[in-house]
Structure 1
Amino acid sequence: MPTSQDMTTDLDTGLLDALQHQVAVFARRAEQTRLGGTGQLRNSMDRAAYLLLNRLDQEGPMGVKALAAGMGIDSSTVTRQVAPLVDTGLVKRTSHPEDGRAVVLQLSPRGQARLEEVRSSRRDLMATVTEGWTADEREAFCTLLTRFNSALSVRQGRVQPAAPREPSDPA
């Protein structure tokens, strides 16, 4: 079985250097802007909150352990990140429908509305950033970025993030 060193020498090291540099630049730009959309909603929701709300929206109510496992992070991290979302009314704690002793987290109507505002703003940003791109280029970029993120998740031993909506699905 080839080692990572063997694979690196088999590939174009110049291309790999360019790729790692572009990933580093992307990470810096993403952190600087938090890809927070446009207008007044720019930078209005941090990455952790967005990912938690999005997962609850896509997969429905769930407990902290399930949410943590699905996101590939520790339960204590989810608990810490969810607390302000509960405090601000974006997420609510409810009883588990089958086991009233267990608590599940659920997106509140306020959280659903806020998430949709942020999604809309971020869609506007993506449309602006890729304005000169064809639909095929956008789809190819999304496919490759999803594949890249999935490979990183596998490499880090984490569960794959929730699948994005298909480009043809309405938002």
Structure 2
Amino acid sequence: MSMDMTTGGDTGLLDTLQHEVALFARRAEQTRLGGVGQVRNSMDRAAYLLLNRLDKEGPMGVKALAAGMGIDSSTVTRQVAPLVDTGLVKRTSHPEDGRAVVLQLSPRGQARLEEVRSSRRQLMADLTHDWEPGEREVFCALLTRFNGALSARMSVPGGQGPEDGQPES
């Protein structure tokens, strides 16, 4: 049984944390963390995440893509449509079931994704240029852990948490 940190001595720290996360979310959306140079702000978050998943996991159907991203199939279908229209994603037939459609990163999509990744990588380097390498590693590990906790919380029906949806006491 864990102690409820919101009633203990950590409320000031938790208030600061929630405020900083809110600021981060707003600033990330304002800049779209688009990178630097001509590529800056040139790919929205949904497109980047879809292309990135197809690159890392290979061709897959809409249902599998939606499940892996924690969103519903209709959302993926809407988000993929402009990527297909612009030639970044190809629709192909499933190799074992010709009736099923598989989404695949096109060569153009691969090149565009690499361009955006490079630009965003440069932005991260610029933002953390005066950090020690160990600080970057710690920040990355903690942010990954934080995102994992958010993802786990959202995967529980009602998005309330690991047990019965009620706050821990």
Is the TM value for this pair above 0.5? yes
Greater Cα shift, 115-124 or 91-100: 91-100
**Alignment partner for residue 85 of structure 2, among 87, 90, 98?**
87
1:168 matched to which residue of 2? none
Deviation at residue 7 of structure 1 after TM alignment: 3.2
For normalisation by structure 2, the TM-score amounts to: 0.89
Closer/same/farther in 2, CA of residues 100 and 82 from structure 1, 3 Å limit: same
Superposition CA RMSD, Å? 1.2
1:40 matched to which residue of 2? 38
2:70 matched to which residue of 1? 72
Q: 2:5, 2:115 → 1: CA distance?
A: 44
Q: Secondary structure at the match of 1:156?
A: helix
Q: Secondary structure at the match of 1:92?
A: strand
- Taking only the aligned residue pairs, the percentage that are identical comes to 84
For normalisation by structure 1, the TM-score amounts to: 0.88
Runs of 4+ in 1 over 3 A off after TM superposition: none
Closer/same/farther in 2, CA of residues 94 and 12 from structure 1, 3 Å limit: same
2:151 matched to which residue of 1? 153
Structure 2: stretches of 5+ with no match in the other structure: 157-169
Q: 1:98, 1:28 → 2: CA distance?
A: 44
2:95 matched to which residue of 1? 97
Q: 1:7, 1:19 → 2: CA distance?
A: 13
**For this pair of structures, how many residues does the alignment match?**
156
Q: Verify the 8 A CA contact 2:62 2:73 in the aligned structure 1.
A: yes
Q: 1:44, 1:11 → 2: CA distance?
A: 44
Closer/same/farther in 2, CA of residues 11 and 69 from structure 1, 3 Å limit: farther
Deviation at residue 10 of structure 1 after TM alignment: 3.4
Alignment pair present for 1:138 and 2:136:
yes
Structure 1: stretches of 5+ with no match in the other structure: 159-171
Larger Rg over CA atoms: 2
1:167 matched to which residue of 2? none
Q: Secondary structure at the match of 2:52?
A: helix
Closer/same/farther in 2, CA of residues 8 and 81 from structure 1, 3 Å limit: same
**After superposition, what is the alpha-carbon deviation per residue over 1:69-125, rounded to whole angstroms, capped at 9, x for unaligned?**
000001000000000000000000001112111110000000000000000000000
2:26 matched to which residue of 1? 28
Q: 1:7, 1:132 → 2: CA distance?
A: 33
2:114 matched to which residue of 1? 116
Q: 2:74, 2:56 → 1: CA distance?
A: 22
Q: 1:148, 1:97 → 2: CA distance?
A: 38
Counterpart code for 1:87: D
1:166 matched to which residue of 2? none
Q: Secondary structure at the match of 1:10?
A: coil
